Amino acid sequence: MADLKTVGTSVPRKDAIEKVTGSAEFIEDRYMGPMLYAKMKKSTVAHGKIKNIDTTRALKHPGVKAVLTGKEYPNRIGLYLIDRTFLAVDKVRFWGEPVAVVAAVTEKAAAEAVDLIEVEYEELPGVFDPREGMKPDAPIIHEDLANYEIVPIFYPEKGTNIANHFKVRKGDIDKGFAEADKIIERDYYVPQMQHVPIETHKAAVQWSLDGKLTVWSTAQSPNVVRQLLAKSLDMPMHKIRVISSYIGGGFGCKAGASIEGLLVPIAQKFPGHIVRIVFNREEDMQGTFTRQALYSKLKTGVKKDGRITALQYEMVWDGGAYTEYGVNIVRAAGYSSTGAYDIPNVKTDSYCVYTNNSIGGPVRGFGMCEMQWGIERQLEEIARELGMDPLEVRLINGMKKGSTTASGQVIHDLDYDKCLKVVADKIGWGKKEESRDGKYRGKGIAGLVKCPAQPSNAASSAMIRINEDGTAHVMIGATEMGQGMLTAISQIASEALHIPVDKIDIKVPDTDFTPYEWQSVGSRITYTCGTSVKRAAEDALGQIYRVAADLLETPQEDLSFDGKKVFSAKNPDLTATIREVADSCKKCTGEGIAGPIIGRGSFVPTNMTNLDPETGQGNPGLFYCFGATGVEVEVDPETGVVKILQLACSIDAGKAVNPQLCTAQLHGGTIMGLSTALYEEVRFDKGIMLNRNFTDYKIATIDNTPHMDSFIVETPETNGPYGARGIGEQPMIGVAPAIANAVSDALGVDFNTFPLTPERVWQAIKNKK
Amino acid sequence: MLSYDYVKCNDLRLACQELEEGEQVYLLAGGTDLIVGMRGGKFSAKTLVDIKDVPELKVLEEDDRGITVGAAVTLNEAVVFAPIRDNVPILAEGCHSVGSYSIRNRATMAGNICNASPAADTAAPLYCLDALVNIKSSEGSRSMPIKDFFAGPGKTALNKGELVQSILIPRPYPEGKGVYLKASRTGSVDLATVGVAVQRWGEEVKIAIGAVAATPVRAFSVEKAINEKGEKNYADAARLVHDDISPITDLRGSREYRYHMVEVLVRRGLEQTLGV
């Protein structure tokens, strides 16, 4: 792959000028027609029966066109476990759950009418801690769980709040612990956090007079929105069109389908109108996916030489009120439960438990940040118990070529050692800095791994149209939410098609025109969509050669294409411009050869399998991406303030399609990780979210952003396009444990939870004294 | 959904009249607390009177009496005003620690005290400087010490029809260094978990603390130990601050952590202003 022209170069972002000038269109930027504005009435209790909803006054309010309640939304929806309705039906399961929706001619009228709706609840005892929720006498949140439709790779327990119990049984756990010289056991806790994309959730819906449904949405997957709407509305897919504008950040909160379906029954009542909903920040924080809290118990058996012989991991996840998506996070954390380490004997039980907290769901890392927090903290404790260097313990147990994951999947393409070593070298690992000015210094390191958590048949497809002048349009169903997908994908197309990247146009998806893509989630698009684009480009290139061979009357094998012309390597006189080939090619006699060239490509994984229900063994990973984070901190023991002195991150990208964008992802993910490590935590009081705006939900600002050193390691992914694998989520995973390990190193105190706020660090120091 | 009448007023007399005659009239200077508060349901305003361009409120000057900061002067304007930086840098520090640069482009010192948050970052420095609040109404003018202006969380001594015209930092200015030390969750763009202002006045010291009581408070116990008893052990002196404060637990910090942090910051403030 030494002769790559475009892949591996930092071409400017395709959307740079639009974004920088502010001309990029987002949903709210567009006037789309006669509008109705929707607002939701939200539950004031966390768990309760709806006794009565009185909409009389709201309906009489000037400007109000419709007030709908759960009765009009009887069908359930969900990605994996079909447990949700768009509005609460008969009962509410979390504080702030929508119970009615108002549509009015102005947003103001809609908001005023919402206040006029009166709802009477009979409050029920709530579940706010999933460990309590698992107990036999806990109040049941979903009485109908046993009857819910579910993808048959999840295991709900009938008559309980357990929506999924995922098991791993690898090797012989008893033998593993028997072989161990030391056993380390500890509890960990990771609180809920929020994604905080700059753009909140938005959707607009139009029901046309001929019965076609058009949806504009901030959804990360227009195809999944279409699929779920088709199912919940019992409509054929060709009657549903989903359009994705640019999205102002997703990080998982816009995966699946969220708010679009809420608007459909209103739109049906007012054909031709556009019904729009725009969440404010509080609604976005409280009403959309939250990262599930995790209560875990981790027990590790280790030999004196540092080799881990056994790992037992019990994870209890706070799935929140609905776990349609959360069940898969619990599964992913289960099958990845040894982190980046090769451990022969594993017993994992990962439980997804309903509670009356906000809905749990996907967030960058998809369970890995939470699960690997325990792994990477425990490795630190193991190293200390054995008197070993924590880096050494990681290198001894770290996955290598031929290692197996918790699910027994063999891994081939990785250089985890290198990922660890580059960050360790950068921060001067092994050199202990002295404390100065009464502040303590410490260093920490943490590794990370993640594979896309997707169904084994999650597919991608692409079309490439060659214009008459030899320029091209790439059509795909992936969404652009800031990650740089449009640029990376057009680079892959350019590379395979030989057409320069500036002659390739690529746009955000519209399901009426762009081909199928499962979801832009799981750091999978570069790999999956990239592969289908590469195949479409190769298909188009093959057609270019076939047509040119016919035109030039020479064998295809002799032809080359340099982006402008097709020529014969053997006879320099035999040459045809791309215009001649692409513009409905004809011979000099006027006889036609071929019409316009359209390349097509599709992709579905062939290396994934279902997992054994009892042992969790099988191949759930499309590819595994490894990396590491290294940190040096300075801690003020009096105030508990942690200052980051050095921050280094590495990722094994396989092949960085665009090194600059790859580095940007490393920086973005690392800062998001730092923000959760030091500041972010959703606070609940009996299900009520207390910090749902930026006054009290703090995220890192530029002032909290230290210099970062990032390293791209390139161990080619055999089946990835040009050796590439996805890296979007991964940089976040190692940051929190690396920082905690560094603070631990500085102070000699341990942390089993984060964020490491000044107060928490101070408390830990105080408790030690 | 916010809904209100907006009145742009460039005449101080008319602004006072609006306040006196109207119902639920609020003054809009920077709006950085007001609009957020309205959105959160803390204020229900029927009318906002925009006073940003009232000439008398734009005054930022130094004369024989001291430094006058008009009610429409932004924090960024105050921060770079040479007489403030040179004579009372503690106030510049307090102003600078409010929100972010872009917030300080709009936010005003008068707004910061009128919002009457016990955590107001300009308040503790103003307490240490014995600032005076100049109040204007249709009836006339009056002024009062800053300590009397704060009446409780979100409450000021303003009567109906009154507005803050300016804040006076009176001469003589303090001789000696002053520092404003703020503890917060993120260290920037955040409210004070506690804020401690320590200002040296010759051989004496004045200390004021925010976010530990219903209003900002002076640390008289500590001041007494230093100024009257000649306590040289700043750690011992700082410990006395517990008698001056009554913090609560909220999302920003626990009562216990606030007690601890105030003690630490008072000690550090003493060290930094009086010398170790």
Residues A623, A595 share a domain: no
Q: Tell me which residues of chain A, numbers 674 to 703, contact chain B at a CB-CB cutoff of 8 Å.
A: 678-679, 683, 690-691, 693, 695-696, 698, 700-701, 703
| Amino acid found at A498 | H
pLDDT given for residue A185 in this prediction: 98
Residues A302, A262 share a domain: no
Question: For residue A177, is it within any domain?
Answer: no
Query: Which of A226, A252, A278 marks a domain boundary?
Result: A278
Q: Is pLDDT above 60 for A1?
A: no
Task: Provide, as residue numbers in chain A, all residues whose Cβ is less than 8 Å from the Cβ of B261.
Answer: 639
* A100, two tokens: 């009615």
Mean pLDDT is lowest, of A20-34, A130-144, A301-315, B89-103, for: A20-34
Separation between Cα atoms, residue A66 and residue B22, nearest integer Å:
36
Separation between Cα atoms, residue A469 and residue B16, nearest integer Å:
70
Residues A708, A620 share a domain: yes
* A73, two tokens: 């939304």
Q: Tell me which residues of chain A, numbers 103 to 122, contact chain B at a CB-CB cutoff of 8 Å.
A: 107-108, 111-112
At A74, the pLDDT band (50, 70, 90 cuts) reads confident
Indicate which CATH number applies to the domain containing A477.
3.30.365.10
At A131, the pLDDT band (50, 70, 90 cuts) reads very high
Question: For residue A474, is it within any domain?
Answer: yes
Separation between Cα atoms, residue A367 and residue A364, nearest integer Å:
8
Q: Whole domain around residue A708: which residue ranges? A: 293-454+609-768
Total domain count, chain A: 3
For the four alpha carbons of A665, A668, A671 and A672, in that order, the dihedral sign comes to negative
Q: What is the mean pLDDT of residues A678-687?
A: 97
Separation between Cα atoms, residue B79 and residue B59, nearest integer Å:
14
pLDDT given for residue B276 in this prediction: 62
Q: Do B186 and A700 touch (CB under 8 A)?
A: yes
Q: Do A112 and B257 touch (CB under 8 A)?
A: no
Task: Give per-residue pLDDT as tens, B192-208.
Answer: 999 999 999 999 999 99
pLDDT given for residue A2 in this prediction: 58
Mean pLDDT is lowest, of A260-269, A582-591, B51-60, B214-223, for: A582-591
Separation between Cα atoms, residue A639 and residue A619, nearest integer Å:
48
Q: What is the mean pLDDT of residues A195-212?
A: 96
Residues A638, A730 share a domain: yes
Residues B200, B117 share a domain: no
DSSP chain B: ----EEEE---HHHHHHHHHHSSSEEEESS-TTHHHHHHTTS---SEEEE-TT-GGGG-EEE-SSEEEEETT-BHHHHHT-HHHHHH-HHHHHHHHTSS-HHHHTT-BHHHHHHTT-TT-TTHHHHHHTT-EEEEEETTEEEEEEHHHHEEETTEESPPTT-EEEEEEEESSPPSS-EEEEEE-SSSSSS--SEEEEEEEETTEEEEEEESSSSS-EE-HHHHHHHHTT----HHHHHHGGGGT-----BTTB-HHHHHHHHHHHHHHHHHHHH--
pLDDT given for residue B3 in this prediction: 86
CA distance B61 to chain A (A): 32
Q: Is pLDDT above 80 for A197?
A: yes
Q: Is pLDDT above 70 for A230?
A: yes
Q: Whole domain around residue B137: which residue ranges? A: 56-170
Query: Which of A239, A255, A278 marks a domain boundary?
Result: A278
Query: CB–CB of A223/A237 below 8 Å?
Result: no
Query: Which of A278, A301, A332 marks a domain boundary?
Result: A278
Residues B134, B74 share a domain: yes
Q: Which of B187, B253, B261 sits opposite A703 (nearest CB)?
A: B187
Residues A335, A259 share a domain: no
Q: Which of A638, A703, A757 sits opposite B185 (nearest CB)?
A: A757
At B165, the pLDDT band (50, 70, 90 cuts) reads very high
Residues A442, A352 share a domain: yes
Q: Please give the sequence-ordered ranges of beta strands (E in DSSP) within A83-171, or none if there are none.
A: 91-92, 98-104, 118-123, 162-170
CA distance A453 to chain B (A): 33
Task: Give per-residue pLDDT as tens, A378-415.
Answer: 999 999 999 999 999 999 999 999 999 999 999 999 99
Strand B66-70 relative to strand B60-62, pairing:
antiparallel
Task: Give per-residue pLDDT as tens, B8-64.
Answer: 999 999 999 999 999 999 999 999 999 999 998 899 999 999 999 999 999 999 999
Indicate which CATH number applies to the domain containing B40.
3.30.43
Separation between Cα atoms, residue A678 and residue B186, nearest integer Å:
8
Residue of A759, A763, A769 for testing the chain B interface, max B β-carbons within 10 Å: A759
Output the CA torsion A471→A473→A479→A484 (10° steps): -10
Counted residue by residue, chain A has a size of: 769
pLDDT given for residue A529 in this prediction: 98
Whether B159 has its CB under 8 Å from any CB of chain A: the answer is no
Residues A235, A96 share a domain: yes
pLDDT given for residue A584 in this prediction: 77
Indicate which CATH number applies to the domain containing A40.
3.90.1170.50
Total domain count, chain B: 3
Q: Which residue of A has its CA nearest to B190?
A: A695
Task: Provide, as residue numbers in chain A, all residues whose Cβ is less than 8 Å from the Cβ of B186.
Answer: 678-679, 698, 700-701, 703-704
pLDDT given for residue A245 in this prediction: 87
Indicate which CATH number applies to the domain containing B270.
3.30.390.50
Q: Do A704 and B187 touch (CB under 8 A)?
A: yes
Residues A478, A543 share a domain: yes
A91 by DSSP, 3-state: which? strand
| Amino acid found at A610 | N
Average pLDDT, chain A: 96
Q: Do B185 and A758 touch (CB under 8 A)?
A: yes
Question: For residue A676, is it within any domain?
Answer: yes
Question: For residue A253, is it within any domain?
Answer: yes
Q: What is the mean pLDDT of residues A49-64?
A: 98
* A488, two tokens: 């990376």
Task: Give per-residue pLDDT as tens, A477-521.
Answer: 999 999 999 999 999 999 999 999 999 999 999 999 999 999 999
Residues A360, A268 share a domain: no
Task: Give per-residue pLDDT as tens, A282-316.
Answer: 999 999 999 999 999 999 999 999 999 999 999 99
Average pLDDT, chain B: 96
Q: Is pLDDT above 70 for B252?
A: yes
Q: What is the mean pLDDT of residues A80-101?
A: 96
Q: Which run of H or of E encompasses A576?
A: strand A575-577
Query: Which residues, in sequence order, are bridge partners of residue A684?
Result: A689
Residues A233, A84 share a domain: yes
Separation between Cα atoms, residue B134 and residue B157, nearest integer Å:
12
Task: Provide, as residue numbers in chain A, all residues whose Cβ is less than 8 Å from the Cβ of B257.
Answer: 758-759, 762-763
Q: Do A107 and B1 touch (CB under 8 A)?
A: yes
Q: Is pLDDT above 90 for A224?
A: yes
Question: For residue A151, is it within any domain?
Answer: no
Task: Provide, as residue numbers in chain B, all residues whose Cβ is less than 8 Å from the Cβ of A37.
Answer: none
Residues 6 or more apart whose CB falls under 8 angstroms from that of A474 comprise A462, A463, A464, A489, A490, A493, A504, A505, A506, A533, A536
| Amino acid found at A543 | Q
Q: Do A112 and B1 touch (CB under 8 A)?
A: yes
Task: Give per-residue pLDDT as tens, A561-595.
Answer: 999 999 999 998 999 999 999 987 788 888 888 99
CA distance A755 to chain B (A): 11
